[in-house]
Structure 1
Amino acid sequence: MSLRALPGFNLQAITLDLDDTLWPFAPIGERIEQVLHHWFLQHAPKTAEQFPISAMRRLRQRVIERYPQYAHDASWLRRKGIEIALTESGHDPALTDAAYDMFFAERNRVDFYPDAHAALLRIARRVPVCALTNGNADLAAIGIAEQFHSHVTARAFGKAKPDPAIFLHACQTLGSTPTNTLHIGDDVEADILGARRAGLKTCWLHREDARDRHPGWPRRDFIPDLVFSDLAQLADWLEAQTPS
């Protein structure tokens, strides 16, 4: 846990990242690849043969490079990849919707970090919270929509983190000023640098499973306002700042 003095900070609201903050994304990514491949085996066997998991990964990268204008829209990129795989392997691209629906349902089966769900409930009781994500998680499908005042996605807004504009838009949905809003996330660039550039206070969530990638704060030009190793620590800090 690391804290900096926050003089004059009157906490009005929180913006909160989702993937790798509330739940680890790597297991989801691996599982949806397996489930999509199994669906291809059943419904589009030529696609399964021509596009095994490794080939689908390469295709996804090809789609990202070919359509940079959709870099903010994870759902569009995934759909397009499925459509191309079906078409190039000789199957009907009309199967895209069914394949994507199966993928999306699986994408929303998440396993929360042990601290995350209870901490989210504690945090949401104190201040309004906006889910701010570059991903495409469905809060209602996951069962946590009621804990959020608002939900801002890169897909809907048209720009992704770390663009400061998406942070400012999230503040607008909360009715808060950026200088009195705290952003929490795991990604050094997308979350912490982006929020800082938008004028928000920052909390770097440095979980144990990320220590191999970043043993400590990696930048020298600035440091986050807060650093916690889990959301329970954030909830403890928040309750100390805003006693009932």
Structure 2
Amino acid sequence: MRVYGRNVFREILYSNFPVRMVYFSENGDKELVMLIEQAKSRKLPYTISPKKILTRLCNFDKHQGVVVDIGEFPYKDESSIIETENGKGFFVILDQLQDPHNFGAIIRSAVGAGANAIVIPKNNSVKVTPTVVKVSVGTIFRIPIVEVVNISRFIEKIKKVGFWVYAADMQGVAYYRANLKRPVAIVFGSEGEGIRRGVKQKCDGVVSIPMKNSIDSLNVSVSAGIILFEVARQNENIDS
């Protein structure tokens, strides 16, 4: 997979994420020259090519002079995150989310709020794509993305090790009144259907965002940002 953008590349450098090749456009500005120097100092494989070559590589002309081939995205195994959460875990579970822009925005909020992992189902769900990486502004490289076969079974497993799991839905207790202390997981549903009934039944409770005016609902990435930072607020004195 090829991702693009200067901030994305900075996040790759910050996270020491492995790359196959970095493509820089020729005749770059001072900022691009500095990024090339960083690639050189890290001994990353790179090449300098005409801008049209980079556009062809990523099928996008606003790549800011940087395209990075990261190969196949490395999803994490569920057992690895369950075993390392140490009773302080904070997971974000996405039940069949479909829109890559929503996925990228949720990743950015999850990282900012201090989540330990994002969990998605292997089937009927958006995957990590260059668009997801771009919308996340590269923060996806700071957090494990976990694929599981069955969301309901995953919820059962983490509840056995002490997690409280809450579904984010329109009908539930106000999110700021719920006890969202770690270890905790928040489930968000798909854009059209919300959380599946079977998944919701596995949760310990339902949290909602009270509305001052009559509207159907907020965009899922907006809802996620609000609720995830409430989790961060309630856990601000707990080491993550």
TM-score normalised by L of structure 2: 0.35
Higher strand share: 2
Higher helix share: 1
Using CA pairs under 8 Å that are at least 6 residues apart, name the structure with larger relative contact order, 1 or 2: 1
TM-score normalised by L of structure 1: 0.35
